[in-house]
Amino acid sequence: MNVFRLAGDISHLLAIIVLVIKIWKTRSCAGISGRSQILFALVYTTRYLDLFTNFISAYNSAMKIFFIVASYATIFLMYSKFRATYDHNHDTFRIEFLIVPVSGLALLVNHDFTPLEILWTFSIYLESVAILPQLFMVSKTGEAETITSHYLFALGSYRTLYLFNWIYRYYAEGFYDLIAIIAGLVQSVLYCDFFYLYITKVLKGKRLSLPA
């Protein structure tokens, strides 16, 4: 565990907590893509199946369980409790266009052709693009609530911090995982535009709105 990895995990944890609290406190999931949330639940479910096969640390297991539980809780809040506030007219990204190619790629490019390893690879690839329905929704409505921007910033920062963690681990431990690194790069690049808007607008106290 190095400082980049820890900062990345904290950022990831904060993102998820901010989203749940936002929905709970405002009694609304307006502006949040349920499709991205479904993809994230799929990501955590397929990646953390190793909870049953490998024990790494109490920290590792606790975080995994938290991510899985929080992702399903978010889906429950969006599709059941606060369903009336869900903005489905703007949440129209076709997730099969992500799931199908990602499944194919996971079958073709993986470390090991075993069920758990293929599911892990699938989750890494899927995570890299899972935010697209949310970014699509923001671009469609042309704006995002400030709290949603904070959520997106924390969520995007997490994988970018992991990139620094992987650079560190490569030099310190000789460890590298090309699948995670390339997917992490893709994931971080997808947020670049958003990061720019966040820094130039939200941090200066303005609402995040896109140029027409």
Partner 1 sequence: DTNSEIHDEL
- Residues near partner 1, by CB under 8 A: 5, 9, 12, 47, 50, 54, 56, 60, 63-64, 67, 111-112, 114, 116-117, 120, 162, 165, 174-180
Per DSSP, the three-state class of 94 is: coil
C-beta of 102 vs 144, nearer to partner 1: 102
Q: Smallest distance, Å, CB 112 to partner 1?
A: 5
What tokens were used for 13? 């944890």
116 or 185: CB nearest partner 1: 116
Residues 6+ apart with CB under 8 A from 22: 145, 147, 148, 151
Nearer to partner 1, 116 or 190 (CB): 116
Nearer to partner 1, 61 or 85 (CB): 61
Contacts of 205 (CB under 8 A, 6+ apart): none
Question: In the complex, what is the shortest distance from the CB of residue 130 to partner 1, in angstroms, rounded to a whole number?
Answer: 15
Smallest gap from residue 27 Cβ to partner 1 (A): 30
Least Å distance between CB 174 and partner 1? 7
Helix or strand holding residue 40 (H, E): helix 34-47
